[in-house]
């Protein structure tokens, strides 16, 4: 007998999903910040420049996700009024 699996997204409400995504984004941001102080020890300017550039881009993308979540929450709150 096969048991049909229900996708996790169907077991979670919107507020819970937003919180989970925001928590993960915050963890990713913290981990990215931990990389930054280690980069100078590489002592290779080209590699350092590329890593710093990539860290900046990753941080921007995480912030875009967080801003999108904030817009979703604001829209939901205004719909309640």
> Which residues touch 59 (CB under 8 Å, ≥6 apart)?
29, 32
pTM recorded for the entire structure:
0.76
pLDDT in tens, 13-36: 999 999 999 999 999 999 999 999
Q: How many CA atoms lie within 13 A of 50 on its CB side?
A: 6
Higher pLDDT residue, 75 or 26? 26
Give the per-residue pLDDT at 55.
Answer: 97
Give the per-residue pLDDT at 2.
Answer: 72
Give the per-residue pLDDT at 31.
Answer: 97
State the average pLDDT over residues 51-79: 92
């Amino acid at each position: 007998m096969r048991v049909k699996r229900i996708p996790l997204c169907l077991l979670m409400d919107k507020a819970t999903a937003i919180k989970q995504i925001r928590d993960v984004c915050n963890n990713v941001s913290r981990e990215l910040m931990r990389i930054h102080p280690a980069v100078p020890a590489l002592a290779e300017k080209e590699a350092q420049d590329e890593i710093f550039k990539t860290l900046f881009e990753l941080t921007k993308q995480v912030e875009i996700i967080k801003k999108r979540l904030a817009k979703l929450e604001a829209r939901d709150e205004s719909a309640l009024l």
